């Protein structure tokens, strides 16, 4: 499944021209040097919305690169296309003590296509420049101006672009007509905007000072949820010859439906007939939808096609009918058209896809949220969701790509925020059961059967259709045990709204048990050792666990006859707010059973709990390395 809109947002905000400033690196306060590889000395961003189809975006930025690692912060990257033009770029480079060392202009920039992978798309381009300086620190000052022929998407202001960049001073100025209406969403800002209104224009200025560098922390929430930012959405907008207005999701969804989606659902008459025939014997809408979905999966494949109204409009259902491919927008629109034939209502839903859960902001509607489209069928209370870009995913299953988040349904009645179902800790299962025999040389043979479901359904899904040699290779990566070989590989899928994948492996592992001096050393947990996580000292951000899961492993080892356990197996139990762990070992005759259950909870926990979380995972890792030693009778 692939992400499909390209939004031209400048993650890095840049600014410009302060000739009188002193860029001596010595002047950067020590607090801003700490943890920073670069410091933004001064940045001024100005958005001048002269009219809805003429927005000037100008930036002046002075950034001091403190060391080689800060180099990327000195890179200026500007995306442009038919709707966005670069009016001017220029800049200067200053040495360590702030003396002018060189200048550059647009000619020094590299110009390349911004199209990624195999995407059928013509005109997204990027200009970028990185100064050739290798003595640090140095300062680079950029001034550039861009013109947008639209105001539907105004770049967000994020004055601190990365963890390792500190900011001395940065400001954002938004200029519009006094009569212009717009919504503002600010985050983590100490001061309110200073507002000035004259007859001709209204000006808003936000300023931040002294934002320090921070070190990246593992298991922390998405930066977007706490970084300093200002987002602006004008009420009346112009976009590719479209005009419109919105103040909330309802209105934005309505505009998208009316202008971008409506009237693109005409199918070939033969297809209409095929669908009618297909569902004529089905009694419920859900069963009809299931059949139609199967038809979609057989008929189409995903190809990124970034054309049409800045990448927002799907190609028509008739085109997909003819070509058999489309991007997520086109395929959702096509599926919707097929469902219409059977009289089944469905919603075109915009979502921010990715394993990291990200919702559309319920408090702030804007066009630059979301990067994927899925389909929702209300089915009279039996809401069912469809991912339309995959030919393999089970009917009604979204996977962790789009689960548990707010999405925007664009309907004839307007936009509605809906929440996709959550894949829960108790249902995100990986349950394995192994029967293994060990001979006197430590060689293992046996069978490993594992069931994957919920968010874990996909763990080995990509192995299924691979060739046998490729499967062997991938499984050796998944079960990275020295000398492991798979004699038989078998997969079964229960393709349903709550799908299950079962992997059945017949395997052998030469010398799994290690023999030394008449004793055998056996690592009990053969297949599922929890990796340790990095420590995070002086933690500042909350601990965020994106998704929970449950792993249950049982292994029965049939030992060689007459072995004597040399150390007693020990059982372990841990339980806390982050999850729980149980491991048990039992020896009866020559049957050794090992049972392990590990539960990881999702959630957000206070920063200071990281120490406990770290210890929990370390303890699990230690317990997972439990070894038994046996004496072998001669």
Name the site residues for another protein (rule: CB under 8 A): 35-37, 66-69, 110-113, 115, 118, 120-122, 125, 132-134, 215, 298-299, 301, 303, 322-325, 391-392, 442, 465-470, 472-473, 476, 480, 482-485, 510-511, 514, 516-517, 519, 521, 523, 532-537, 567, 614, 617-618, 621-622, 627, 629
Alpha carbon 97 to its chain centroid, in Å, reads: 42
* Closer Cβ to another protein, 331 or 418, answer by number: 331
Given a contact cutoff of 8 angstroms between Cβ atoms, the answer to whether 393 and 461 are in contact is no
Q: How many CB atoms lie within 10 A of CB 568?
A: 9
The least CB distance from residue 207 to another protein, in Å, is 27
The least CB distance from residue 120 to another protein, in Å, is 5
The least CB distance from residue 69 to another protein, in Å, is 5
Q: How many CA atoms lie within 13 A of 216 on its CB side?
A: 9
The least CB distance from residue 538 to another protein, in Å, is 9
Helical H segments across 511-579, by residue range: none
554, 549, 555, 556: which is closest to 598 by C-alpha? 549
Q: How many CB atoms lie within 10 A of CB 492?
A: 12
Given a contact cutoff of 8 angstroms between Cβ atoms, the answer to whether 87 and 147 are in contact is yes
Classify 407 as helix, strand or coil. strand
* Closer Cβ to another protein, 36 or 230, answer by number: 36
* Closer Cβ to another protein, 185 or 299, answer by number: 299
* Closer Cβ to another protein, 132 or 190, answer by number: 132
Question: Cα-flanking dihedrals φ and ψ of residue 533, to 5°?
Answer: -115, 160
The least CB distance from residue 32 to another protein, in Å, is 12
Alpha carbon 153 to its chain centroid, in Å, reads: 21
Given a contact cutoff of 8 angstroms between Cβ atoms, the answer to whether 402 and 423 are in contact is no
The least CB distance from residue 65 to another protein, in Å, is 12
Please state, in angstroms and rounded to a whole number, the distance separating the CA atoms of residues 42 and 14: 9
* Closer Cβ to another protein, 137 or 155, answer by number: 137
* Closer Cβ to another protein, 29 or 324, answer by number: 324
Tokens of 25: 């690196």
* Closer Cβ to another protein, 70 or 370, answer by number: 70
* Closer Cβ to another protein, 110 or 380, answer by number: 110
137: preceding bond cis by omega (within 30 degrees): yes
The least CB distance from residue 1 to another protein, in Å, is 14
- Cβ contacts of 159 within 8 Å, gap of 6 or more: 13, 40, 43, 167, 170, 172, 208, 211, 228
The least CB distance from residue 597 to another protein, in Å, is 22
* Closer Cβ to another protein, 35 or 169, answer by number: 35
The least CB distance from residue 265 to another protein, in Å, is 20
The least CB distance from residue 482 to another protein, in Å, is 4
* Closer Cβ to another protein, 243 or 322, answer by number: 322
Strands (E), 412-456: 414-419, 429-438, 444-453
Given a contact cutoff of 8 angstroms between Cβ atoms, the answer to whether 438 and 557 are in contact is yes
Tokens of 339: 């469902």
The least CB distance from residue 517 to another protein, in Å, is 5
Please state, in angstroms and rounded to a whole number, the distance separating the CA atoms of residues 443 and 530: 24
* Closer Cβ to another protein, 176 or 330, answer by number: 330
Give how far Cα 69 sits from Cα of 13, 27, 65, 213, 526, Å: 19, 20, 8, 13, 40
The least CB distance from residue 416 to another protein, in Å, is 34
Q: How many CB atoms lie within 10 A of CB 194?
A: 12
* Closer Cβ to another protein, 108 or 282, answer by number: 108
Given a contact cutoff of 8 angstroms between Cβ atoms, the answer to whether 45 and 172 are in contact is yes
* Closer Cβ to another protein, 427 or 440, answer by number: 440
Please state, in angstroms and rounded to a whole number, the distance separating the CA atoms of residues 143 and 104: 11
Please state, in angstroms and rounded to a whole number, the distance separating the CA atoms of residues 625 and 521: 12
Tokens of 365: 């509607």
The least CB distance from residue 377 to another protein, in Å, is 25
Given a contact cutoff of 8 angstroms between Cβ atoms, the answer to whether 582 and 596 are in contact is yes
């Amino acid at each position: 499944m692939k992400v499909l809109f390209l939004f031209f947002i400048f993650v890095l905000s840049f600014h410009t021209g302060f000739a009188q400033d002193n860029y001596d690196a010595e002047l950067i306060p020590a607090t801003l040097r700490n943890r920073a590889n670069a410091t933004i000395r001064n940045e001024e961003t100005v958005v001048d919305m002269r009219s809805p189809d003429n927005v000037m975006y100008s930036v002046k930025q002075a950034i001091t690169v403190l060391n080689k690692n800060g180099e990327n912060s000195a890179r200026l990257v500007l995306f442009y296309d038919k709707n966005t033009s670069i009016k001017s770029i220029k800049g200067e480079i200053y040495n360590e003590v702030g003396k002018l060392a060189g200048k550059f202009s647009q000619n020094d920039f590299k110009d390349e296509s911004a199209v990624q992978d195999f995407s059928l798309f013509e005109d997204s381009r990027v200009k970028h420049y990185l100064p050739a300086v290798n003595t640090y620190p140095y300062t680079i000052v950029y001034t550039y101006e861009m013109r947008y022929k639209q105001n539907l998407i105004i770049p967000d202001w994020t004055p601190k672009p990365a963890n390792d960049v500190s900011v001395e001073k940065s400001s954002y100025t938004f200029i519009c007509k006094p009569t212009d209406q717009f919504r503002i969403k600010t985050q983590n800002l100490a001061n309110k905007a200073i507002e000035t209104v004259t007859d001709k224009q209204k000006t808003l200025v936000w300023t931040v000072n002294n934002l320090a560098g921070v070190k990246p922390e593992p298991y922390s929430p998405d930066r977007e949820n706490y970084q300093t930012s200002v987002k602006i959405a004008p009420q009346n907008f112009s976009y590719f010859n479209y005009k419109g207005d919105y103040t909330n999701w309802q209105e934005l969804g309505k505009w998208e439906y009316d202008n971008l989606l409506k009237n693109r659902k005409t199918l070939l008459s033969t297809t209409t007939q095929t669908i009618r025939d297909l569902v004529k014997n089905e009694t419920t809408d859900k069963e009809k939808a299931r059949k139609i979905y199967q038809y979609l999966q057989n008929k189409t494949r995903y190809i990124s096609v970034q054309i049409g109204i800045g990448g927002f409009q799907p190609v028509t259902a008739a085109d997909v009918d003819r070509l058999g491919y489309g991007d997520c927008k086109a395929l959702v629109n096509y599926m919707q058209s097929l469902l219409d034939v059977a009289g089944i209502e469905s919603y075109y839903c915009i979502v921010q896809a990715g394993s990291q859960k990200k919702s559309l902001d319920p408090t702030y509607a804007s066009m630059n949220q979301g990067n994927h489209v899925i389909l929702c069928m209300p089915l009279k209370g039996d809401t069912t969701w469809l991912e339309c870009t995959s030919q393999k995913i089970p009917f009604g299953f979204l996977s962790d790509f789009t689960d548990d988040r707010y999405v925007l349904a664009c309907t004839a009645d307007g936009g509605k925020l809906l929440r996709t179902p959550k894949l829960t800790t108790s249902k995100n299962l990986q349950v394995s059961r192994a029967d293994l025999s060990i001979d006197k040389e430590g060689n293992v043979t046996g069978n490993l059967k594992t069931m994957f479901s919920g968010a874990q359904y996909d763990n080995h899904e990509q192995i299924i259709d691979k060739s046998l040699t490729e499967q062997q290779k991938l499984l050796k990566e998944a079960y990275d045990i020295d000398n492991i070989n798979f004699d038989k590989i078998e997969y079964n899928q229960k393709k349903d709204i709550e799908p299950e994948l079962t992997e059945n492996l017949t395997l052998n592992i030469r010398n799994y048990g290690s023999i030394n001096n008449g004793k055998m050393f056996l690592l009990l947990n053969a297949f599922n050792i929890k990796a340790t996580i990095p420590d995070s000292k002086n933690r500042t951000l909350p601990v965020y666990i994106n998704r929970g899961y449950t792993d249950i492993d049982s292994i029965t080892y049939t030992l060689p006859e007459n072995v004597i356990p040399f150390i007693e197996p020990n059982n372990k139990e841990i339980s806390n707010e982050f999850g729980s762990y149980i491991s048990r070992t039992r020896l009866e005759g020559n049957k050794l059973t090992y049972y392990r259950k590990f539960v990881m909870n999702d959630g957000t926990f206070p920063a200071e709990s990281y120490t406990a979380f770290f210890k929990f995972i370390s303890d699990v890792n230690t317990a997972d390395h439990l070894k038994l030693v046996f004496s072998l009778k001669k």
